[in-house]
Amino acid sequence: MPTDTLPYADRLDRLRTHVKERGAEVAVLTPGPDVEYLLGHSVASHERLSCLVVPIAGSPTLLVPQLERLGWAGTAAEDAVRIATWLDGQDPYALVADLLPAGTARIAVGDHMPAGHALHLRDAVPGSELSLAGEAVAALRVRKSAAEIEELAAAGAAIDRVQERIGEWLRPGRTEHEIAADIAAAIRAEGHQRADFVIVGSGPNGASPHHEASDRVVQAGDVVVIDIGGPHRGGYFSDCTRTYQVVGEPDPEFAAVYDVVQRAQQAGVDAAVLGATCESVDAAARRVVVDAGYGEFFITRTGHGIGLEVHEEPYMVAGNSRPLAAGMAFSVEPGIYLPGRFGIRIEDIVVATEAGPRRVNNCTRDLTVV
Ligand code: ZN
Ligand code: ZN
Ligand code: ZN
C-alpha cells in the first residue's frame, strides 16, 4: 500500500488490545484481507498452512511454507514481524503450538480460516479453546485512516470515469456479456487490479440485485442496472451503481420510480452523520421508498462497509445499532426491484467525516438516457 508511513507495527499493537479485550490470548490469522491490513501484503498458500500468530504478550510471527517465503521478500512484513518457515513433511500445527507462550489456551482464529486448519490447530494445542478473531480485526479495519480514505477516493474516481463512458458500450443489439466484457477492460484500464464484478442487469434481469450478465440482447428502451467495481491498485475496492435507459424518451413510470430511488439515496447519504446508527441510515433511505408505496420492492439492506474487501463492516441494516464514527466507509445503495419488469439502484461509497458525509463517487445520479 502506497502510504507515506508504515502503520503495520501500530496495527499489530492495537490488534493485541482488541484480542485481549475479547478474552483471547493469541490471534491466528490465515492469508486474506485481515493479513493484508496488518502486514500490507498477503500470499495465499492453498492447502498448506500460512498464518500470522499474534500473542497478546510477546512478538508476532508469520509462519509460511518455505516455498512461499520469496513471495514475502521485500515487503513491510519483513520489518513488522519475524518470518518463520516450514518444509513439506513437517507438522505446521505443532510449529504454531511451539510459537505460543507457555500455557496459551484461548486462541482467536480468523473468521475465514479454513475449518481444517482451525481444527488441526486446536488438536495441536492441548486444552485449547477457539473463538473468532473477526470482531477484533474489524474493530481496527472499520475506521479508515486518512491514507486509506485517499485510496478509496482514488478507486471511486476511477470507477466514476468508467460509468461516465457507459454509453460507448451499452447499445441496443448487444448482449449483456458483450457489454460487460468492454466494461471490465475499462475497469482494468482505469488502474484496477481486476474487475471483481460487472453487473449488467437489462430489463427484467435488473430486478435481480446480484444478476451478473447473460446472453440477453439489450433492447431500445430498456432500463439497465450497471453495478461495477474491483480492487484498485492500492488494494481498496470501488463499487458504484448507476441505472440507465437505453435510447428514447424516458419512460414515465421509469422516471417516477427513478425519482423515488434518487431521493431515497440522497436521504440515506444525508443521514450518515457521525453518531447516527447504521440502522438509521437504512431507515432514512427506506422511509422514502415506503412512503412512495414501493417498500415491498426494496429487498436488500441499504449498504455495506468497504475497504480491502467489497463487503465488510459496517452494514447499513435494520438491527445494527453501531454508531457511525469518523473514517467509516460504506455504500448507500437503495433500490426498487420490480419482478418481470426492471430494477433501479443508485449506489455511492460514502465516508463518515467530521465535516459530514463525503461521497467518493461523484458521477451524475440524474436520470441518464444513453
Ligand atoms: Zn452487492
Ligand atoms: Zn455495493
Ligand atoms: Zn455495487
Residue 19 amino acid letter: V
**pLDDT at position 210, please?**
85
340 C-alpha vs ligand 2 centroid, how far in Å? 23
C-alpha–C-alpha distance, residues 350 and 334, integer Å: 13
C-alpha–C-alpha distance, residues 60 and 81, integer Å: 6
SS3 of residue 99 by DSSP: helix
List the domains of the chain with CATH numbers.
6-141 (3.40.350.10), 146-369 (3.90.230.10)
Residue 106: DSSP 8-state: E
- pLDDT tens for 264-291 read 999 999 999 999 999 999 999 999 999 9
Instruction: Judge contact between 261 and 223, C-beta under 8 A.
Output: no
4 C-alpha vs ligand 1 centroid, how far in Å? 32
Residue with cell 427506506: 286
Mark the residues whose beta carbon lies below 5 A from ion ligand 2: 239, 331
225 C-alpha vs ligand 2 centroid, how far in Å? 13
311 C-alpha vs ligand 2 centroid, how far in Å? 7
Nearest-ligand number for the alpha carbon of 199: 3
- Cβ within 8 Å of residue 101, ≥6 positions away: 25, 26, 55, 57, 58
- Cβ within 8 Å of residue 303, ≥6 positions away: 268, 281, 282, 315, 316, 330, 331, 332, 333, 347, 350
C-alpha–C-alpha distance, residues 352 and 175, integer Å: 38
347 C-alpha vs ligand 3 centroid, how far in Å? 6
280 C-alpha vs ligand 2 centroid, how far in Å? 18
- Phi, psi at 20, each rounded to 5°: -65, -45
Could you tell me the sign of the dihedral formed by the alpha carbons of 152, 155, 161, 164, in that order?
negative
Residue 345 amino acid letter: R
SS3 of residue 22 by DSSP: coil
C-alpha–C-alpha distance, residues 233 and 193, integer Å: 6
210 C-alpha vs ligand 1 centroid, how far in Å? 6
- pLDDT tens for 126-181 read 999 999 999 999 999 999 999 999 999 999 999 999 999 999 999 999 999 999 99
303 C-alpha vs ligand 1 centroid, how far in Å? 8
- pLDDT tens for 203-218 read 999 999 989 999 999 9
43 C-alpha vs ligand 2 centroid, how far in Å? 26
Which candidate, 263, 246, 243, places its Cα nearest to that of 344? 243
Q: What is the DSSP string of 268-287?
A: HHHT--TT-BHHHHHHHHHH
Nearest-ligand number for the alpha carbon of 310: 2
37 C-alpha vs ligand 2 centroid, how far in Å? 20
25 C-alpha vs ligand 3 centroid, how far in Å? 37
196 C-alpha vs ligand 1 centroid, how far in Å? 11
239 C-alpha vs ligand 1 centroid, how far in Å? 9
Burial profile 114-150: b = 16 or more Cβ within 10 angstroms, e = fewer: eeebbebbbebbeebebbbbbbbbbbbbbbbeeebbb
Nearest-ligand number for the alpha carbon of 159: 3
106 C-alpha vs ligand 3 centroid, how far in Å? 38
333 C-alpha vs ligand 2 centroid, how far in Å? 7
List, edge to edge, every strand of the sheet that includes 197-202.
Answer: 197-202, 223-229, 240-245, 368-369
Nearest-ligand number for the alpha carbon of 316: 2
211 C-alpha vs ligand 1 centroid, how far in Å? 10
Note the pTM of the prediction, 2 decimals: 0.94
**pLDDT at position 232, please?**
98
- Cβ within 8 Å of residue 157, ≥6 positions away: 360, 362
Pairing state of beta strands 51-55 and 106-109? Answer: unpaired
Mark the residues whose beta carbon lies below 5 A from ion ligand 3: 227, 239, 241, 347
**pLDDT at position 5, please?**
57
- Phi, psi at 68, each rounded to 5°: -95, -5
- pLDDT tens for 7-42 read 999 999 999 999 999 999 999 999 999 999 999 999
- How much is the mean pLDDT over the chain? 96
315 C-alpha vs ligand 2 centroid, how far in Å? 11
107 C-alpha vs ligand 1 centroid, how far in Å? 32
Could you tell me the sign of the dihedral formed by the alpha carbons of 286, 288, 293, 294, in that order?
negative
- pLDDT tops 70 at residue 258: yes
**pLDDT at position 115, please?**
97
Which candidate, 77, 115, 72, 121, places its Cα nearest to that of 96? 121
304 C-alpha vs ligand 3 centroid, how far in Å? 9
